[in-house]
Amino acid sequence: MAAIDDNSGYNRMKEVKKFDESKIGVKGLSDSGITSIPQFFVHDPETLSDLKSSSSHTATIPTIDLSKINSHRPTIVDQITVAAKTWGFFQVINHGVPILILEETVNAIKAFHDQPHEVKAKYYKREEGKGVMYSSNNDLYRTKAASWHDSLQAWMGPEPPEVEELPEICRKEVVAWDLHATNVAETVMELLSEGLGLEAGKFKELTFSDARVLVGHCYPYCPQPDRTMGITSHTDPGIVTVLLQNHVPGLQVRHEDEWVDVKAVPGGLIINVGDMLQIISNGEYKSVQHRVLANSCKEVRISVVIFFNLSKWNEDGYCGPLPALLSPEKPPIYRNFTQREFVENFYSKGIDSKSLIEKITIHS
């Protein structure tokens, strides 16, 4: 990338570095009362022209009620399977996690981001694949334009962090949330496994919930929400994602060529299919584009996300569509790939670039 981007003499990389080294985050910029955003946050005209939700669309993502999971299991399997095949995004309610836990989790992540600069700066770093890290834009040096969010990230498995590594202000809640969200993910993955005609425990056996990372995003007020994004459009790379959000809107999902707002249902948890699940289900379940608009509300938007990834790969080191799902009528639509390919694809690019799926699709 050229140091000087255009004829104006604006040195983008220098400005990005200055921002990063200040460790102030977008929360700090927002709190300082700025009225215009730094240029490196400004997205290209094509992204910006598409910002408003095209919500003539009144559709909402499906809501799945898990309260009758034992007495009405086939119905729930059916609902969740249809949701994962058509939307790739759904909301679960009556999932067994007390509302108080949801509130405490959101409040604890908010409290972390609300701390003074000096306190948060101690955690500010860029070591993505492990441990605990706080930063603004994990992919800051890999994208064309930065987005209006900061994140606290903690790898909760396969090795949990030392408890003292987690910021004290949200330590207890992060540990508790990891357990609760993992339980919900395991229930959901049992249902999705049954929906493919596999044994309920198949995904667990594949170790989908072992390697998981918790990310607490903060989207503070943005003075120019029509010039940037909260998070750029992307798909999630792993198996499945569990997302808890507060009441401040912004999350949108791509459905039938339109952006649809994902409205927070009180007590609900959002689940979405990741690229790896699309691949191993041989395209049955859909990993769908989603994004977050830059926050135009004075109140901060908080989301707490756990990404679930496979921890063990096949003995031959490859991963791909599950053999049990393939037949002469249903040949694989993706080629097998290695863990290294998966990891390199993720870390070599910004969140907004091509997913692995495009690279491994078999064009017949």
Ligand X SMILES: O=C(O)CCC(=O)C(=O)O
Residues that bind ligand X (CB under 6 A): 215, 217, 231, 236, 243, 245, 251, 290, 292, 303, 305
Residue closer to ligand X by CB (options 95, 290) is 290
Find the shortest distance in angstroms from Cβ 269 to Fe ion. Answer: 14
Distance CA 227, CA 212 (A): 33
Residue closer to ligand X by CB (options 222, 243) is 243
Residue closer to ligand X by CB (options 196, 211) is 211
Spatial CB neighbours of 227, under 8 Å, sequence gap ≥ 6: 37, 41, 42, 43, 48, 294
Partner from ligand X, Fe ion, none contacting 150, C-beta within 5 to 8 A by type? none
Find the shortest distance in angstroms from Cβ 358 to ligand X. Answer: 18
Among the listed residues 187, 227, 225, 206, the one whose alpha carbon sits nearest the alpha carbon of residue 43: 227
For residues 272, 226, 265 and 210, what is the CA-based torsion angle, rounded to 10 degrees?
30
Find the shortest distance in angstroms from Cβ 292 to ligand X. Answer: 5
Region near Fe ion per CB under 5 A, out of 54-62, 85-93, 172-180, 230-238: 230-238
Residue closer to Fe ion by CB (options 187, 235) is 235
Distance CA 93, CA 65 (A): 5
Find the shortest distance in angstroms from Cβ 205 to Fe ion. Answer: 26
The answer to whether 164 and 53 have CB atoms below 8 angstroms apart is no
Partner from Fe ion, ligand X, none contacting 292, C-beta within 5 to 8 A by type? ligand X
Find the shortest distance in angstroms from Cβ 104 to ligand X. Answer: 18
Find the shortest distance in angstroms from Cβ 302 to ligand X. Answer: 8
Displacement of CA 228 from its chain's centroid (Å):
18
Tokens of 60: 């909402």
Q: Is 150 a binder of Fe ion (CB under 5 A)?
A: no
The answer to whether 116 and 292 have CB atoms below 8 angstroms apart is no
Region near Fe ion per CB under 5 A, out of 130-138, 177-185, 234-242, 273-281: 234-242
Distance CA 147, CA 127 (A): 19
Given candidates 20, 173, 178, 236, which one binds Fe ion under the rule CB under 5 A? 236
Residue closer to ligand X by CB (options 190, 352) is 352
Residue closer to ligand X by CB (options 190, 236) is 236
| φ/ψ (deg, to 5) at 213 | -130, 130
Partner from Fe ion, ligand X, none contacting 319, C-beta within 5 to 8 A by type? none
Residue closer to Fe ion by CB (options 190, 236) is 236
**Looking at beta carbons, which residue is closest to ligand X?**
303
At residue 227, what is the residue type? R
| Length of the chain measured in residues | 364
The answer to whether 302 and 115 have CB atoms below 8 angstroms apart is no
Distance CA 89, CA 101 (A): 22
Q: What does 140-172 look like in DSSP terms, one character per residue?
A: TTTSSS--S-EEEEEE-SSSPPPGGGS-GGGHH
Partner from Fe ion, ligand X, none contacting 215, C-beta within 5 to 8 A by type? ligand X
Find the shortest distance in angstroms from Cβ 292 to Fe ion. Answer: 8
Residue closer to ligand X by CB (options 215, 322) is 215
| Burial category of 265 from C-beta neighbours within 10 Å (exposed 0-12, middle 13-18, buried 19 and up) | middle
Partner from ligand X, Fe ion, none contacting 251, C-beta within 5 to 8 A by type? ligand X
What 3-state class would DSSP assign to 355?
coil
Partner from ligand X, Fe ion, none contacting 97, C-beta within 5 to 8 A by type? none
Residues forming the site for Fe ion (CB under 5 A): 236
